[in-house]
């Protein structure tokens, strides 16, 4: 059996890869592993369980709740809320465990299970490995040790979670948003309720699109992976800017008043300067991944800020932030982590902080995002090659060195083996788009010949 846990929990096609039996079994295994680790020692354990609006989340939630309660864990069911809301409530309510059912930006047929440890932090890799091992052990025949009588877990709906999370978001805003007109694209996802409520209570005039989830339309042609609807709505309504979330609202992308996209790198740059001004950017440092645009790197250098770069994935950004105590990090895709106020990427919080900066400065989002020039970035996926030889091929190494020499200081080359598919990603940045395309094409050909 391949590893169940990926970089963001367990994910797959609901009722095919991710079945009710798997959800129940993993939940029981998680309860047993956390009990063995001493997490529950001395008290009756509790868990917070939330989900996005996918239809499959209804039966998967039932399976997770049944598994936890059967293992003696009391469950607070918070219903449809964003992933960062479930993480926040896990910490705020003093729960021993949090569970979120979502496949984030994936299409509707998929779903996923993500566990949070006490405090709302991502479960450690070694605990995920142990949960998987215990699940597999009992799946193949070993009986569970189950409580009976008063020892079984109790289940209750925690309806205060919505207002509690919105109040948390508003409590960290440095200023109100009065006078701003903002379009919010909720991707028919988990933030369809809380995000408009938070922006409106902060004083903004809000226009919503993608805010009528029916269980089947999540991420369907809308949200942070499909920005065309948002761009059109911003222009149609004469809004100051627009904000787009993904299905579980841990991402935030934006569109300025002209309809131009403002990506995660640009949002990071705007927030970095705001936090430096407020004295909250610890170490004058921002954490980002190696996929960040070279324009972001150059902008941080020009502003006198340090940039720490990690492998691709918000988990690696978070690890670096926690290890060194940095306050701000994120990805080009819109995962932005403000560690003083969230334990994971929080799209609603990011959007609110971005809006607060616009309101406080009186400058447009387009002007603020202009702190960095986004250099042309070309990405080519080369399929059916031996990705394990990317670093050892002399032919490929020579081709990369030649490309880097031709690009000089105004460009960059990155070759990255896919973590899930038999392909190599070739990324080239340059001041000139045609040069980036040409060099990316040349390198893709070398990858095929050298690794094919």
Which of 348, 369, 390 is where one domain is finished?
369
pLDDT of residue 446: 93
74 is in an annotated binding site: no
104 is in an annotated binding site: yes
Based on the domain organization, do 150 and 15 belong to the same domain?
yes
Q: How many CB atoms lie within 10 A of CB 126?
A: 10
What pTM, to 2 d.p., does this model score?
0.91
pLDDT of residue 387: 86
* Mean pLDDT calculated for residue range 225-235: 97
pLDDT of residue 83: 97
HSE-CB of 288 using CA atoms within 13 angstroms: 25
Domain span holding position 141: 10-160
Q: If we measure between CA atoms, which residue out of 449, 448, 440, 291 comes closest to residue 383?
A: 448
Instruction: Kindly state the tokens that stand for 334.
Output: 């819109």
pLDDT of residue 413: 93
166 has a pLDDT exceeding 50: yes
Gap between the Cα atoms of 207 and 254, Å rounded:
14
Degrees, nearest 5: CA angle 354-258-246: 50
Gap between the Cα atoms of 214 and 211, Å rounded:
10
Please tell me which residue in 104, 195, 224, 333 is annotated as part of the active site.
104
pLDDT of residue 2: 56
Instruction: Kindly state the tokens that stand for 434.
Output: 């045609």
250 is in an annotated binding site: yes
User: In this prediction, what percent of the chain has a pLDDT beyond 70?
Assistant: 99
44, part of any domain: yes
222 has a pLDDT exceeding 80: yes
Gap between the Cα atoms of 322 and 344, Å rounded:
11
CA distances from 405 to 161, 164, 290, 436 (A): 55, 54, 19, 13
pLDDT of residue 420: 63
pLDDT of residue 427: 92
**Containing H/E element for 288?**
strand 285-289
Instruction: Kindly state the tokens that stand for 125.
Output: 């890799």
The answer to whether 407 and 413 have CB atoms below 8 angstroms apart is yes
pLDDT in tens, 113-159: 999 999 999 998 899 999 999 999 988 877 888 999 999 999 999 99
2, part of any domain: no
Backbone φ, ψ for residue 180 (5° rounding): -95, 140
Based on the domain organization, do 182 and 153 belong to the same domain?
no
HEC profile of 33-96? HHHHCCCCCCCCCEEEEEECCCCHHHHHHHHHHHHHHHCCCEEEEEEECCHHHHHHHHHHCCCC
Q: Are strands 241-244 and 412-417 parallel, antiparallel or unpaired?
A: unpaired
pLDDT in tens, 430-449: 988 999 999 999 999 999 98
pLDDT in tens, 353-367: 999 999 999 999 999
Averaged pLDDT score across all residues of the chain: 94
Structural domains counted in the chain: 3
pLDDT of residue 139: 86
CATH number for position 267? 3.40.120.10
Confirm whether 104 is a catalytic residue: yes
pLDDT of residue 315: 86
Q: How many CB atoms lie within 10 A of CB 334?
A: 29
Based on the domain organization, do 253 and 346 belong to the same domain?
yes
Residues 6+ apart with CB under 8 A from 138: 25, 28, 29, 144
pLDDT in tens, 374-402: 999 899 999 988 888 888 888 999 999 99
pLDDT in tens, 247-279: 999 999 999 999 999 999 999 999 999 999 999
pLDDT of residue 1: 43
91 has a pLDDT exceeding 50: yes
Based on the domain organization, do 238 and 313 belong to the same domain?
yes
435, part of any domain: yes
pLDDT in tens, 3-58: 788 777 899 999 999 999 999 999 999 999 999 999 898 899 999 999 999 999 99
Q: If we measure between CA atoms, which residue out of 123, 340, 80 comes closest to residue 214?
A: 80
Residue 76 pairs with which residues in a beta bridge? 48, 156
Which of 101, 132, 160 is where one domain is finished?
160
* Mean pLDDT calculated for residue range 275-289: 97
Based on the domain organization, do 283 and 428 belong to the same domain?
no
3, part of any domain: no
Distance of CA 157 to the CA centre of its chain: 26
CATH number for position 397? 3.30.310.50
Gap between the Cα atoms of 64 and 60, Å rounded:
6
Gap between the Cα atoms of 179 and 184, Å rounded:
16
Q: If we measure between CA atoms, which residue out of 233, 56, 41 comes closest to residue 118?
A: 41
Based on the domain organization, do 406 and 310 belong to the same domain?
no
Dihedral Cα 210, 214, 216, 220, nearest 10 deg:
-10
Which of 310, 344, 369 is where one domain is finished?
369
pLDDT in tens, 32-42: 999 999 989 88
439, part of any domain: yes
Gap between the Cα atoms of 289 and 286, Å rounded:
10
pLDDT of residue 312: 84
Q: How many CB atoms lie within 10 A of CB 418?
A: 13
Based on the domain organization, do 387 and 362 belong to the same domain?
no
246 is in an annotated binding site: yes
pLDDT of residue 219: 97
Based on the domain organization, do 382 and 400 belong to the same domain?
yes
């Amino acid at each position: 059996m391949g590893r169940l846990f990926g970089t963001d929990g367990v994910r797959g096609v609901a009722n095919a890869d991710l079945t009710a039996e798997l959800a129940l079994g993993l939940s029981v295994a998680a309860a047993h592993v956390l009990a063995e680790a001493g997490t529950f020692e001395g008290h009756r354990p509790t868990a917070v369980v939330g989900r996005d609006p996918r239809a499959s989340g209804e039966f998967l939630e039932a399976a997770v709740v049944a598994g936890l309660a059967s293992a003696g864990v009391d469950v607070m069911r918070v219903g449809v809320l964003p992933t960062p809301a479930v993480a926040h409530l896990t910490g705020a309510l003093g729960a021993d465990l949090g569970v979120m059912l979502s496949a984030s930006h994936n299409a509707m047929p998929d779903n996923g299970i993500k566990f949070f440890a006490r405090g709302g932090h991502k479960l450690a890799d070694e605990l995920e490995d142990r949960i998987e091992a215990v699940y597999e052990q009992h799946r193949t025949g070993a009986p569970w040790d189950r409580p009976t009588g008063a020892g079984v877990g109790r289940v209750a709906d925690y309806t205060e979670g919505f207002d509690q999370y919105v109040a948390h978001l508003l409590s960290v805003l440095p200023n109100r948003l009065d006078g701003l007109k903002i379009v919010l694209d909720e991707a028919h996802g988990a933030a369809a309720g809380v995000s408009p409520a938070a922006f409106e209570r902060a004083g903004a005039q809000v226009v919503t699109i993608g805010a009528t989830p029916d269980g089947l339309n999540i991420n369907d042609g809308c949200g942070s992976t499909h920005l065309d609807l948002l761009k059109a709505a911003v222009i149609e309504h004469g809004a100051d800017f627009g904000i787009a979330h993904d299905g579980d609202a841990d991402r935030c992308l934006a569109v300025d008043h002209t309809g131009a996209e403002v990506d995660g790198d640009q949002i990071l740059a705007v927030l970095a300067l705001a936090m430096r001004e407020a004295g909250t950017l610890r170490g004058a440092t921002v954490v980002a991944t190696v996929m960040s645009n070279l324009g972001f790197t150059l902008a941080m250098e020009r502003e006198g800020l340090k940039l720490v770069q990690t492998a691709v994935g918000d988990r690696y950004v978070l690890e670096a932030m926690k290890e060194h105590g940095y306050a701000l990090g994120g990805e080009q895709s819109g995962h932005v982590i403000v560690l003083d106020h969230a334990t994971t990427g929080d799209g609603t919080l990011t959007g609110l902080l971005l809006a607060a900066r616009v309101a406080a400065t009186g400058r447009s989002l387009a002007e603020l995002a202009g702190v960095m020039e986004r250099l042309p970035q070309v990405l080519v996926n080369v399929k059916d090659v031996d990705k394990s030889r990317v670093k050892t091929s002399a032919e490929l190494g020579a081709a990369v060195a030649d490309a880097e020499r031709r690009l000089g200081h105004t460009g960059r080359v990155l070759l990255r083996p896919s973590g899930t598919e038999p392909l190599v990603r070739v990324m080239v940045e340059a001041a000139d788009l045609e040069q980036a395309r040409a060099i990316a094409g040349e390198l893709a050909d070398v990858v095929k010949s050298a690794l094919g």
